[in-house]
């Protein structure tokens, strides 16, 4: 049908888009889908949906952040027409070490909630605060870092999304403890560590809207180590590793009550690959918590090869050398 459409009306962009969707979803042919979407976007260069789907195609095929960012920055005026594409742009800036660019957008843009987008912008806001706080910590400016971390506990109104009940913010409190310790305030450091060590310690196969991010378990364990609760921390990380090993052997099916599976997108992602990515991330963080540097690096390399834009890659790639030296 779409082939007949473009034969009759080759100037009709949506016809090429339909061919691209079929090429990816049914034929699993990246090159063909990319060529069709490129044709569509050339015919309708003001259509932000086509640019979003072209970037999504690259994302699903494991393109590098640099390649994806070049396309979006070359069409930035169009990219900023959509909140979902802006969220991708923010993540790509974070991945390429440009947190200040992302901060400007997060401070000035009025975002609007969209179906399936719950938490996407707020997670980029927190990531941005953490990355910029780390820059200050690395420059031995703990007070400035602490101010950014404190601000991360309160979402600006322009993000148009509130905090979830029971949100534990383990990562923020862990780094607040590091800041307090750097300023010689041991009492405050211990208070922050106790907050960082709280929260649920279970991992779900699917991701639901009110779930805590899986990396919160890592920060809990790191906080427990600094509190001297080595046995509890060791058990937590061992259980994470066991979960990853066992779940890696299972097949996953879509849960339509989850916020992450399936995504409500025209181009389909591979559910089993997404599950593998989650297992690798849990295994990677468990190895880091156990002080197993080689296993951590191996899992990180495998995860990055599958998905160069895995969640919070910008943060963990940056701070993990410090974590290994500081905690272990």
CA 302 – CA 88 distance, rounded (Å): 22
Sequence-distant (6+) residues with CB within 8 A of 103 are: 128, 132
pLDDT (tens place) for every residue of the chain, 328 residues total: 789 999 999 999 999 999 999 999 999 999 999 999 999 999 999 999 999 999 999 999 999 999 999 999 999 999 999 999 999 999 999 999 999 999 999 999 999 988 778 889 999 999 999 999 999 999 999 999 999 999 999 999 999 999 888 889 999 999 999 999 999 999 999 999 999 999 988 776 555 444 678 899 999 999 999 999 999 999 999 999 999 999 999 887 765 555 544 466 889 888 899 999 999 999 999 999 999 999 999 999 999 999 999 989 999 999 999 999 988 7
Which value, to the nearest 10 degrees, does the dihedral of the CA atoms of residues 80, 81, 86, 89 take?
-50
With CA atoms as reference, report the closest residue to 127 among 163, 94, 164.
94
Residue range 1-59, CATH number: 1.25.40.10
Q: Can you give the pLDDT at residue 44?
A: 98
313-327 and 120-138 are packed helices; what angle lies between their axes, rounded to 10 degrees?
40
R_g of the chain, CA atoms, integer Å: 21
With CA atoms as reference, report the closest residue to 267 among 12, 16, 20, 15.
20
CA 92 – CA 314 distance, rounded (Å): 9
CA 111 – CA 15 distance, rounded (Å): 31
Q: Where are the domains of the chain?
A: 1-59, 164-328
Q: Is this prediction's pTM over 0.85?
A: yes
Which value, to the nearest 10 degrees, does the dihedral of the CA atoms of residues 288, 294, 300, 305 take?
-170
CB contact at 8 A, 171 and 216: yes
CA 244 – CA 282 distance, rounded (Å): 6
Counting Cβ atoms within 10 Å, is residue 175 exposed (0-12), middle (13-18) or buried (19+)? buried
CB contact at 8 A, 80 and 101: no
């Amino acid at each position: 049908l779409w082939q007949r459409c473009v034969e009759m009306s080759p100037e009709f962009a949506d016809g090429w888009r339909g061919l691209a969707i079929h090429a990816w979803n049914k034929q699993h042919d990246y090159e063909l889908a990319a060529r069709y979407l490129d044709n569509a976007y050339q015919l309708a260069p003001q259509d932000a949906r086509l640019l979003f789907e072209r970037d999504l195609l690259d994302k699903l095929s494991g393109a590098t952040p640099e390649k994806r960012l070049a396309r979006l920055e070359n069409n930035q005026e169009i990219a900023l027409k959509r909140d979902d594409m802006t969220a991708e742009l923010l993540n790509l800036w974070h991945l390429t070490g440009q947190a200040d660019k992302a901060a400007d957008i997060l401070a000035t843009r009025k975002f609007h909630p969209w179906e399936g987008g719950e938490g996407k912008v707020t997670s980029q806001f927190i990531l941005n605060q953490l990355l910029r706080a780390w820059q200050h910590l690395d420059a031995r400016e703990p007070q400035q870092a602490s101010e950014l971390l404190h601000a991360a506990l309160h979402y600006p109104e322009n993000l148009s999304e509130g905090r979830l009940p029971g949100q534990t913010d383990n990562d923020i409190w862990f780094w607040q403890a590091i800041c307090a310790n750097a300023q010689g305030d041991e009492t405050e450091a211990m208070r922050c560590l106790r907050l960082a060590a709280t929260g649920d310690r279970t991992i779900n196969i699917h991701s639901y809207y009110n779930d805590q991010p899986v990396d919160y378990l890592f920060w809990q364990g790191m906080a427990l180590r600094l509190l001297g609760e080595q046995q509890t921390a060791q058990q937590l990380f061992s259980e994470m590793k066991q979960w990853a090993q066992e779940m890696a052997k299972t097949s996953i099916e879509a849960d339509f009550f989850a916020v992450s599976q399936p995504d409500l997108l025209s181009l389909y992602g591979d559910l089993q690959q997404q599950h593998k990515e989650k297992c690798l991330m849990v295994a990677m963080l468990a190895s880091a918590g156990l002080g197993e540097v080689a296993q951590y690096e191996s899992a990180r390399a495998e995860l990055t090869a599958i998905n160069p834009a895995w969640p919070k890659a910008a943060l963990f790639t940056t701070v993990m050398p410090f974590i290994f030296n500081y905690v272990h």
